[in-house]
Chains A and B, each alone.
Chain A
Amino acid sequence: MRAPRTLATLDEVDPGDHVCQVLDRTDHVIDCSRSFVADGALHGDKVVIVGPALEAGSEFAQLVLDPARLDGSLLAAVRREAADADREGFRSLRVLHHVRPGCRAERTKELWRSELDLEEFAADTGALVVCVYSGADWDSSTLEQIGCVHPHSLGSRPKVPAFQVYRTGKEGWTVNGIVDSDGAVAFGTILCTLLAQRATVRLLCHALEFLDGAGMSALADAARHLPDRKVILEGTNDTVRLAWELSGFAIPEIPVVMTP
């Protein structure tokens, strides 16, 4: 069973982890990549670095995927590499994703899609995925939101997000922590992204500590923004179910099912 945790160093990562690493201004991308490749060799993993062609001094990287030059999606590419790694006798695949900011809203949407794809990929295949964000290139609120779809965090000042949504087994997504007005927008975006790809999203809410009115509105809006979708929340407490009913959301037009 995957469980969220904060890591002090890259040495602590395990297969199946999906790690969000935020680099300080003083951290160097090349150093980070070099140690990642070295750890991969140590553990018998195939290493893939995703990002724009790295600058000089990156000759240690055997396999670099530039998202801008991929023929198809990043997910398809890493799935291919995972299958190859298996055939080639590696223990597993180890992906280091240097995530670069974009300026279009569309890019943000792609970012959520990509992160949720990688989360599912890591959980389902046992591949290790580390997503590296440079603190200098991203605003803190985006970094905080992106942290919500990584069950594992790494960095000199790792900040545990208020809530996390991460893949659990083949069937569902665990939601833990606190979804209130501060996190409702991110929560809604995550749900919309998941619902764009599948008719039913199963949320395991046993570790969901708190869901406020803004979080419930985000859930209701996401559930009805595309036709023929359904969200199932398992493990909800009686307060969440009561507030959902009281809010008037428990109607057929909002395809959400809540169970204890």
Chain B
Amino acid sequence: MTFSAPSSAAPGAGYRHELYPYSGRDAFVEGALGFIQDALDGGEAVVVAVPQDKASLLRAEIRDEDAVRYVDTAGVAHHPGRLIAAWQEWIQEYTSQGRPVRGIGESPWDTVRTPAEAEELRYHEWLLNKAFARGPAWWLLCPYDIAHDKAALTEMARCHPELRQDGCTMPCEDYDPHAPYRFTPLTDPCDPYEEFAYSSGDLPALREKIAACAELHGLTGRRLRELHLAATEVATNSIRHGGGHGVLRTWNEEHRLVCEFRDAGYIEDPLVGRRRPDARQVGGRGMWLVHQLCDLVEIRSAPDEGTRIRLHTELPE
């Protein structure tokens, strides 16, 4: 399963995306502080979006000020589909003034909840190259603790055009701007799973099916309404753009309700739903809402295989 390759940003121009492998807190602080200090020396602003414990380490050295902004990542850190819009918003304050800006972004790898979330976080790193290929120009450093998962370092390297080592930036040899993203295959549905074929006129029945599964697992009220809305948007896309029909599967996996939608359509844009829609645009809000309302969204689409979309909703304790 692949998506088309993003355009690459040449070092020194446009969007720069740099992986910083480190080992231990001291190395994290040293690398991040060096990056921030370089930015400040050059009159650039810095947005820091890292887990709270890491932010505290940096704050002890460089406090919040006009040029250094520590952002709250709590609402997006575990939701990879929301991160690109978050970065667009975080840097917009500076880019709209024409001010050069850098970012430090580290996902909460230590507290990732599922392998699917980890995969989507890595995929997000790859998508960043595409999302900012046409601007604005900014420079994102992604610290990655190799103590966490050294094996995944190669996969991370495939998502970053540049690599930071010993305070120097160099091209990342594992990154191929023309290569598609190599997805880990989706897991099989957990048994027992429910299946429901839908087409035009079946949206109410589809919601009933989901409600029945959700309520079995204690998912009700606001969270169920949000899932209903997200599921309706995906199923509507199947009916309108995915061959007129689809198949819903639901199951419980790692204390999450998973709703999978399969249809014959092909989603050409890998960034679908990851950019905030403009109020004036006609349509194009469905997948945006899906990313905002679900805990995790997995999209796999290929012209010859059709589309599979999985919506994950955490179940109540």
B310 beta carbon closer than 8 Å to chain A: no
A210 touches B228 (CB 8 A): yes
A249 touches B279 (CB 8 A): yes
Cβ contact of B240, chosen from A181, A239, A254, cutoff 8 A: A181
A213 beta carbon closer than 8 Å to chain B: yes
B44 beta carbon closer than 8 Å to chain A: no
B285 touches A213 (CB 8 A): yes
B204 touches A213 (CB 8 A): no
B279 touches A237 (CB 8 A): no
B286 beta carbon closer than 8 Å to chain A: yes
B289 touches A178 (CB 8 A): no
B236 touches A181 (CB 8 A): yes
Cβ contact of B229, chosen from A182, A212, A220, A251, cutoff 8 A: A212
Binds B, one of A148-156, A225-233, A240-248: A240-248
A162 beta carbon closer than 8 Å to chain B: yes
User: CB-CB < 8 A to B278: which residues of A?
Assistant: 248
- The distance from the CB of B106 to the nearest CB of chain A, in whole angstroms, is 26
A246 touches B201 (CB 8 A): no
A246 touches B289 (CB 8 A): yes
B225 beta carbon closer than 8 Å to chain A: yes
B292 beta carbon closer than 8 Å to chain A: yes
Cβ contact of A253, chosen from B226, B229, B276, B279, cutoff 8 A: B279
B233 touches A213 (CB 8 A): yes
A238 beta carbon closer than 8 Å to chain B: yes
User: CB-CB < 8 A to A254: which residues of B?
Assistant: 279
User: CB-CB < 8 A to A242: which residues of B?
Assistant: 226, 293
Q: A-facing mask of B108-134, CB < 8 A → 1, else 0? A: 000000000000000000000000000
B204 touches A162 (CB 8 A): yes
Cβ contact of A181, chosen from B203, B225, B293, cutoff 8 A: B203
A78 to B200, CA, bound (A): 40
Cβ contact of A217, chosen from B204, B226, B229, B283, cutoff 8 A: B283
Closest 7 pairs (CB-CB, A-B):
A239-B225, A248-B279, A181-B236, A212-B232, A246-B292, A247-B285, A213-B285
Interface residues of B (CB under 8 A from A): 200-201, 203-204, 207, 222, 225-226, 228-229, 232-233, 236, 239-240, 276-279, 282-283, 285-286, 288-289, 292-293
Interface residues of A (CB under 8 A from B): 162, 178, 180-182, 210, 212-214, 216-217, 220, 237-239, 242-243, 246-249, 251, 253-254
Besides A181-B232, A243-B293, A246-B289, 4 more A-B contacts (Cβ < 8 Å) are: A180-B236, A213-B289, A237-B225, A243-B289
23 CB contacts below 8 A, A to B, read A180-B203, A180-B236, A182-B201, A182-B203, A210-B225, A212-B236, A213-B232, A213-B236, A213-B285, A213-B289, A214-B236, A216-B285, A238-B222, A239-B226, A239-B229, A242-B226, A246-B293, A247-B285, A247-B288, A247-B289, A248-B277, A249-B279, A253-B279
